[in-house]
Amino acid sequence: MSDNTTLTVPALQERVDAIFRKAGLNEIQAGALARVIVAGERDACKSHGIYRIEGALRTVKAGKVKPDAVPELLLQEGSAIVKVNAKGGFANPAFELGLPALVERARSCGLAALVINDCTHFSALWSEAEGLSEQGLAGLVMCPSYATVAPTGGNKPLLGTNPFAFAWPRVGKSSYVFDFATSVAARGEIELHRRAGKPLPEGWAIDADGNPTTDPEAALAGAMLPFGGHKGSAIGTMIELLAGIMIGDLTSPEVLDYLGTTTLAPFHGELIIAFSPEAFAAGRPGNPFARAETLFEAIVGQGARLPSQRRYLARAKSEADGITLTDAEIKQLERLFALGLEAVA
């Protein structure tokens, strides 16, 4: 226990923010980035927590994201589309800028979309989906990533791991939220198997010749597979079309061409769709929020779990008791603060 340090959520926010400010990010970039990273750490979602600071700094150092970008809001009279140009900065401050306009349009039109263009994205989508459900809206969020997944029946990386997230608001409770890659596994999980010298489960990947493989090295040289066979492959393709091509931003193969690596955060766009359950249900019998609780009770009542329950338990604990970091994690935060961009390769 003597090797651990416990920080309150705001205290960790302040530390992460200070690292980004010292590394040259402006106030809006640093603040939004720190909020999403601390939310990951708070929810025990370690793969999207402070571990990500280094990747963000590496992307800044490589010149692939603008640390001083000021996102711009583009509104058009009568349109249900809210656009934010991230101006080459991170997606997170662009989302924060666009959210109030998206909420207003979704309430008045019944549904609305937020398009973020020219952004670097590296956080989990659940935080944005929750941003909508906290306002009483349902939300759907998606974006491409890098070409690392072969379409079903194919043999080469083309699609990204293309995350797909959804949130439904719950009165007085944490939202119903899911957020998953449309590949069977995340690329990081294959990397973990490689390091541990363990074979992959069947069905995760193919080798460079397109044959099924359980060898992590062969999988990294080949391609990952979509979840759920041709159905997941179709959803991954839909995300390239809607959240890449339709919004006039890069697809996963174009992202990989642009960056030349999967070690930097992807530069592309993002699509967020917001629905007002009140507008949709108007004039119909039943309260949609109460009826959703009946569905959730039926799911939980038969022993199934709602998604995000593990995150919400961790969140409650972090908010009550603080976030506990290891000595190595604290040292790394201190190192990143002291060295800034010099700390990353």
Looking at 88-96, 150-158, 189-197, 310-318, which segment touches a copy of itself (CB under 8 A)? 150-158
CB 142 → a copy of itself: shortest distance, Å? Answer: 11
Q: Report the sign of the C-alpha dihedral through residues 332, 333, 339, 342, in that order.
A: positive
**Do the Cβ atoms of 290 and 278 come closer than 8 Å?**
no
Find the binder of a copy of itself among 173, 291, 310, 331 (CB under 8 A): 291
Q: What are phi and psi of 105, to 5 degrees?
A: -65, -40
Q: Which is nearer to a copy of itself, 89 or 253 (CB)?
A: 253
Find the binder of a copy of itself among 33, 94, 247, 264 (CB under 8 A): 247
CB 343 → a copy of itself: shortest distance, Å? Answer: 35
Q: Which is nearer to a copy of itself, 41 or 118 (CB)?
A: 118
Residue (of 133, 179, 115, 129) closest to 277 by Cα position:
133
**How many other CB atoms are found less than 10 A from the CB of residue 330?**
16
Residue 115 sits in the site that holds a copy of itself (CB under 8 A): yes
Active site residue 334: no
Looking at 25-33, 148-156, 315-323, 327-335, which segment touches a copy of itself (CB under 8 A)? 148-156
**How many other CB atoms are found less than 10 A from the CB of residue 309?**
12
Residue (of 76, 77, 38, 30) closest to 56 by Cα position:
30
CB 94 → a copy of itself: shortest distance, Å? Answer: 15
Identify residue 342 by its one-letter amino acid code. Answer: E
Residue 245 sits in the site that holds a copy of itself (CB under 8 A): yes
Residue whose entry in the numeric block shows the structure tokens 């956080």: 123
Active site residue 189: yes
**Do the Cβ atoms of 73 and 87 come closer than 8 Å?**
no
Q: Is 307 exposed, middle or buried (0-12, 13-18, 19+ CB in 10 A)?
A: middle
Binding positions for a copy of itself, 198-217, rule CB under 8 A: 210
CA dist list (Å): 8 to 14, 41, 51, 318, 324: 10, 11, 18, 8, 9
Looking at 44-52, 65-73, 146-154, 315-323, which segment touches a copy of itself (CB under 8 A)? 146-154
Strand ranges inside the chain, DSSP E: 4-7, 72-74, 81-85, 111-120, 138-142, 164-168, 176-180, 205-206, 212-213, 223-224, 267-275, 323-326
Residue 263 sits in the site that holds a copy of itself (CB under 8 A): no
CB 309 → a copy of itself: shortest distance, Å? Answer: 11
Residue (of 26, 33, 29, 27) closest to 53 by Cα position:
33
Binding positions for a copy of itself, 26-85, rule CB under 8 A: 78-81
Among 41, 48, 240, 270, the active-site one is 48
**Total number of residues binding a copy of itself (CB under 8 A)?**
70
Residue 109 sits in the site that holds a copy of itself (CB under 8 A): yes
Q: What is the C-alpha to C-alpha distance for residues 234 and 238, in angstroms, rounded to an integer? A: 6
Active site residue 308: no
CB 245 → a copy of itself: shortest distance, Å? Answer: 5
First to last CA, the chain: 32
CB 71 → a copy of itself: shortest distance, Å? Answer: 16
Question: Which residues are known catalytic residues?
Answer: 47-48, 189
**Site residues for a copy of itself per CB under 8 A:** 78-81, 108-113, 115, 117, 138, 150-156, 158, 166, 168, 176, 178, 180, 182, 210, 227-234, 237-238, 240-242, 245-249, 251, 253, 273, 275, 277, 279-286, 288, 291-292, 295, 298-299, 302-305, 307
